[in-house]
Amino acid sequence: MLNRLLPSMANFTYAGSRLSLWLLVLVLFMKLAIALGAIFNAHYAASVADGIPIDSYTPQATQAFLSLFASPGLSQFVLGLLGVLLLLRYRPLVPLFLLVLLIEYLARKSINA
């Protein structure tokens, strides 16, 4: 089990399931799309998607809130780009990266609970 997560050599040979590759492509597409939406259209994402009344705050508070809203989007974007790099160049690390994404998701959910 540990050999699948931590291969001895990270080259382009991938002996795992094709389903995990397609799962990673789907997750990365969604993660990058949401991250770009949070970065470049934070006002819309916060007000419409999350239902936060952004327009009721002062302009300074709105700007501070939107920059805090876009910061996790930037970290998700960088994580997504790392996933694309792993998918294109270091495929044996795909199971480990899927585990990292799962741990990151569960940690965010436990913090927000």
Average per-residue pLDDT in the chain? 86
Condensed to tens digits (0 to 9), the pLDDT of residues 88-112 reads 888 888 888 999 999 999 998 999 8
Better-scored residue on pLDDT, 9 or 78: 78
Is this model's pTM higher than 0.85 or not? no
Q: How many CB atoms lie within 10 A of CB 20?
A: 16
Backbone torsion region of residue 51, taken as left when φ is above 0, otherwise alpha when ψ lies between -120 and 50, otherwise beta: left
pLDDT in tens, 42-56: 888 888 877 888 888
